[in-house]
Chains A and B, each alone.
Chain A
Amino acid sequence: MTASELRSPSLADEFNDALAAGTLVIQRCKACGEVNMYPRYRCPACQSADLGWQQSEGTGVLLTYAVIRAVPPKGFESDLPYAVGVVRLDEGVQLLARLEPAEDGEWDPYACDTRVRFVPRSCQVGETRLTAWFAPDGSPS
């Protein structure tokens, strides 16, 4: 096994399994109730290791976003153009997400502080590029 094939077991596995099943989950500390994103091995607030998951309501605010039109990393050439954004969920935690384009393939409906909601997407078995997708809140699913 080469170094590049050495894969650590990851807290992301459970998060990604939920994403693949169409749900967005947030880690919650069973000791102090703090919600954590991204998930940790110990609660950053109280250091407890007694951590579990809760389903997110999936709604929040888009703090900022960027539309990538050129110079992508390897493997993302056919995705161009695509948009990423920082979403603050109503539960209070933040994550990086992909943003659904509007019908014209652009991202005009988005601005800083736009309300957005999680969009479940169907995933193929063995999907290695699982990421949370969001769309403007109130847009048709």
Chain B
Amino acid sequence: MTDGTGTLHFDAGAPNDPVFIGVGELESGRFPERSFIQALTEVAMRALDNARVLPREVDTIVLIPNLHSFDDQADLIFSRMVEELGLSRQAKASFMVHSGGSTSDNAVRVVSGLIHAGHAQTVLVLQAERWGSADLTEMVTMLTANGIPQEWERASGLTFNAVGALITQRYMFETGSTPEEMASVCVALRKWANLNPNAMYRDKQLTVDQVLGSKVVTDPLHALECPPLADGAAAFVMTTAENAAHRRDATVRIAGSGGCVSHYSIAQETDLATMGWRTAAERAWNQSGWSPEDVEFGEVYDSYAAVTAIASEGLGLCAPGEGARWFASGATSPGGAFPMNTNGGLLSAGHTGVGGGMALLVEGIRQLLWQAEPERQLGGVKRGVIGGTGGTYMDAQVLLLERVDNGGAR
């Protein structure tokens, strides 16, 4: 049996080392007038411009799914973006990767493998979502019908807020975290969102009193502790280090990854306050040779405060049981010792479906390329950790990324 920590065959400086060379993003929020294909096209162009790559240089498009429409999903799957970007016959492959909220992390593994092996040279990864413009009840019902076992749990009336509440309740019980400490996680994220022009809540302040004063939607979660459904779009470009060398002063490479799929249905999770994070993190640290002390910031999935608190503990970024208090202490906020979710996260930049994890990944790449807005850019950062999870927190996915300055390719 494998322990899940095989050697990564990518070498820093090798010509075929897969690297990120550009990102693009659209503003998150409610944009009913922005069409799905328009958003995908615009974000693709932004990422390609940023990467200094021409559309015709792209040989492979990888689509991140949307959750608002099966019709739009069909357009993604069946290569509409190849036509929209003028890549008919030029494109070698166009296909979708899907594991819910952890899709972007798994897409990085897939794409980097293609590039390293030579199956692809320049890959455009695209995502757009229209959750903010969609009907809320329809989306809640859709989520209840997808990702929750239809035979065993749908009849109970389980919702995704309830899945978040089940984890939060157990997390608070095991760690003794108070409602104030849980609310503080949301407040810490909002401070970052206030610095992010693409965040849904860039202009709104948030206090612990406001969070605890909002309606209880699903005990123990208040309305302002539930992620706001948003429209959004994000994209990134990956290529070989050799191909990137003449285009950019710096690129971002993958030092290692780790993952752990712990359950399908939330009721089958035996460790509701820790889930798969410790195992996934151990695999990533082992593969990279890094330890938590080697990373300078994190972008870790945060659809609910407990989700990112649990992940932070499993990653070893803070002490076990101290995740929520760590956020409450200000350590992760702007100016703190270990910045976390510098785009504002899903809870404050907006939950763009499968795009929530994508936005965190894109923010991590952007920070390592030193391309965030000056008030949000972390000075001189070279190493970061990305964490994602999908479905009912079925998995924990960890990517360890590092900046490579020009001359990295031989």
Contact = CB atoms under 8 A, between A and B. Distances in A.
Interface stretch (B37-45, B213-221, B308-316, B339-347): B213-221
A69 B216 contact: yes
B377 interface: no
A118 interface: no
Contacts of B95: none
A74 B157 CA distance: 9
Interface string B211-233: 00001111111010000000000
B265 interface: yes
Contact of A68 (B136, B153, B161, B267): B161
B169 interface: yes
Given A111-B173, A113-B173, A94 B270 contact: yes
Interface stretch (B144-152, B291-299, B323-331, B364-372): B144-152
Interface residues of A, number: 37
Interface string A61-79: 0011111111111101001
Contacts of B265: 38, 96
B152 A12 contact: yes
Contact of B166 (A10, A37, A66, A69): A66
Contacts of B151: 10-12, 38
Interface in B154-177: 155-159, 161-162, 165-167, 169-170, 173-174
A86 B149 CA distance: 14
A81 to B, nearest CB: 9
Interface string B186-215: 000000000000000000000000000001
B61 interface: no
Contacts, number: 108
B2 interface: no
Interface residues of B, number: 39
A63 B173 CA distance: 10
A66 B162 contact: yes
A96 B169 contact: no
A82 B167 contact: no
A13 to B, nearest CB: 9
Interface of A: 10-12, 37-38, 63-74, 76, 79, 82, 84-87, 94-98, 107, 111-113, 128-131
28 contacts: A10-B151, A37-B268, A64-B272, A66-B162, A67-B216, A69-B215, A69-B218, A71-B217, A72-B140, A73-B140, A73-B144, A73-B145, A73-B157, A73-B159, A74-B137, A79-B157, A82-B157, A94-B268, A95-B152, A96-B152, A96-B265, A98-B156, A112-B173, A112-B174, A113-B173, A129-B155, A131-B155, A131-B156
